[in-house]
Structure 1
Amino acid sequence: MTKRAAGRAADGLRLAVTTLTVLPVRGGRVDRPTAAVAMGLAPLVGALLGLTVAGLAGGLRVLGAPALVAAGVAVAAGALLTRGLHLDGLADTVDALGSYRSGPAALEIMKKPDIGPFGVVALAVTVLIQAAAIAAVPWWAIVAAWTTGRLAITLACRRGVPPARPEGLGAMVASTVPTPAVLLAVALVAAAAVPAAPDRPWLGPVGVAVAGCAVLVLLRHCVRRLGGITGDVLGACVELATTVMLITVTLG
C-alpha cells in the first residue's frame, strides 16, 4: 500500500467513526473518495458498536439484571453511541414515505423537526423488537446484527444509487462505493455471522441475506419516491437491517 493509499484509508476510517459514532476522533480529509472508504468500512464500525452493546447487555445480566432490562439498556446505549441519528432517520423516512407524497414534498417532511404518527410507531416497534431479540440471542448475534446494520450503509452507497438532494450527507456519500467493495463487505459480514447461531450456523448468513434484501427493497422505494438517498434514508436502512437480522437469528 502506498503512502497516499494508507492516508486515504486512515482518513476514511476516521470519517466512518466520526459519522457513525459519538467518539471524539480527530477528523481528516473529507471528500467523495474518502467517503467511499468510510462507507465501505461502515460494517467494521458496526462491529465495534455491536461489541459494546453486547458487552453491556452481558455485563448487566452477570450483575443480576433481568434479560429484558439488560436488553433495553443496551438498545438505549446503542442509540446514545450513535447520537440517535439512525433512529431519527428511521422516523423521518417513515413519515415521508407514509405521507404518500413524492419528490420535494416528501423531502420537506423529512426536514421537519417534529415526528409524525408513522415515525412514532416505527420507533416504538423497532426499539421493542430489538430489545426483545437481544434478550433472547447470544452475544455474537448482537455483534452480527449491529455489523449487518452498518453493512446496509455500504449497500445504500453503492454505485448507481443517486442522492435525493444536491447537498447534505446523502449527496457526499451516494454512489461512492464500487460494486466489488460492496460484494466483499457482504461476503465478510456473512462469514462473520456464522457463529451468531451456534447450533444453526447457516442462520446468521441467511439473516445477512434477508436483511440485505429488505434494505434493497427500501432503497428502491426511496429512489422512486424521493429521487435517491439522504442521510435519513441511510439511518432507516441501518435500523431496518439491524432489526431484520435480530429477528432472523431468533427463529428456529
Structure 2
Amino acid sequence: MLDGVRLAVTTLTVLPLRAGRVDRSTAAVAMSVAPVVGALLGLALAGLHAGLRAAGSPELVAAGLTVAAGALLTRGLHLDGLADTVDALGSYRSGPAALDIMKKPDIGPFGVVALCATVVVQAAALTAAGPWALVTAWAAGRLAVSVACRRGVPPARPEGLGAMVASTVPLAAVAAGAAFVGAIGVAAVPGRPWQGPAAVAAALFAVVLLLRHAVRRFGGITGDVLGAAVELAVTLTLVLLTLAPGRS
C-alpha cells in the first residue's frame, strides 16, 4: 500500500519521494488513489489562486498563473500526453502507425491547437470558478486515470507505462473514487449541490468515450492516453461547473 501511494505521488506530481517497489500490484494501488492525489493538487492550486486574488492580481492573470502552476506540479506530462494523443487521432491512422506518431518528440498542428485550447479554456473557467470547483476538477482529472486503468481496458503496447497500469484497478475502487470526487463536488457550486456531481459524471462519460475510441484506434491505452484523459476531465468539469443560466 505504501509503495503504491509513493508511486501515485511520484507519477502524478513532481514531489521527489523515495522510490519503492514498482510492479502491477503497486500500480493498482497508485491508480486507485489517484483521485486523492488530484484533490490534494487541487487544494494547493486553490490556495495559490486565492492568494493571488487576495494580493490584487487580476482575475485572468491569477487564473493563468494557476493553470501554469498546475502544469509545473505535474511536469506538464498530461498536457504532453494530450498533444500526442490528439496528433495521433488527427492523423486518421490506426494501430502501430498511430502509436509511432505518439512516440515522436515533436508536436503537430492538431496537438498545438489542443494544447492552446485546453489552457485557454481552463484559465477562462477559473475566472468564474470557486475554490471547491477547482479542487473538484483536479480530482476528477485524476479519477479519469482510475477509470482508464480499470480492469478490462487493455494496453496498446506490451511495454511502457500503459502496459504496467492497464487493467489494474478494480471496479470497486473506481466506484469509491467516483463517490469521493462526487462528494467534493457537492460544495463546488454554492446553492447548487447537484451541479458538481453532475459535472463529474458528464466528464467521466466523455473520458469513457475517449477510451473506447483509443482502444479502437490504438488497440488500448498508453501513458499519453492517460494524460489526454486527465486534461479532458479537468477541462470539461471546469466548464460545466461554471455554467450559470441567466449569467450575462
Q: Same fold (TM over 0.5)?
A: yes
Aligned pair count?
A: 244
Q: Are 2:44 and 1:52 equivalent residues in the alignment? A: yes
Q: Which whole-Å deviations, capped at 9, do the CAs of 1:120-177 have from their partners, x for residues lacking one?
A: 0000000000001111111110010000000000000000000000000000000000
* Deviations 1:210-248, CA, capped at 9 Å, x for gaps: 000000000000000000000000000000000010000
Amino acid across the alignment from 1:126? T
CA RMSD in angstroms comes to 0.5
Partner of 1:79: 71
Cα distance, 1:48 vs structure 2: 0.9
Structure 1 segments (4+ residues) deviating >3 Å: none
1:245 maps to a residue whose letter is: T
Amino acid at match of 1:171: A
Instruction: Report 1:66-145 matches (<5 A).
Output: 66-145=58-137
User: Residue in 2 aligned with 1:167?
Assistant: 159
Identify the match of residue 235 of structure 1 among 195, 210, 227. 227
Secondary structure of 2:187's counterpart equals: helix
**Sequence identity (%):** 73
Task: Choose which of 152, 158, 169 in structure 1 pairs with 2:144.
Answer: 152
Counterpart residue identity of residue 248, structure 1: L
User: How far apart are 1:62 and its partner, in Å?
Assistant: 0.4
How far, CA to CA, are the matches of 1:145 and 1:240 in structure 2? 10
Is 2:31 the partner of 1:39?
Answer: yes
Number of the residue aligned with 2:20: 28
Of 182, 190, 204, the match for 1:198:
190
CA distance in 1, matches of 2:82, 2:5: 24
AA in 1 matched with 2:164: M
Shift of 1:199: 1.3
Question: Structure 1: how far apart are the matches of 2:46 and 2:109?
Answer: 31
The runs of 5 or more residues in structure 1 that have no matched partner are 1-8
Do the aligned residues in 1 keep the contact of 2:148 with 2:166 (CA within 8 Å)?
Answer: yes
Residue in 2 that maps onto 1:220: 212
In the alignment, the residues of structure 2 paired with residue 83 and residue 58 of structure 1 have an alpha-carbon distance, to the nearest angstrom, of: 22
Partner of 1:6: none
Q: Verify the 8 A CA contact 2:132 2:184 in the aligned structure 1.
A: no
**TM-score of the pair, normalised by structure 1:** 0.96
Normalised to the residue count of structure 2, the TM-score between the two structures is 0.98
Q: Say yes or no: does 1:65 pair with 2:81.
A: no
Where 1:247 maps in the other structure, the secondary structure is helix
Counterpart residue identity of residue 64, structure 1: G
Alpha-carbon distance in structure 2 between the residues aligned to 1:191 and 1:139 = 15
Would you say 1:187 and 2:179 are equivalent positions? yes
What is the identity, as a one-letter code, of the residue corresponding to 2:139?
T
Question: What CA distance in whole angstroms lies between the structure 2 residues aligned with 1:172 and 1:232?
Answer: 13
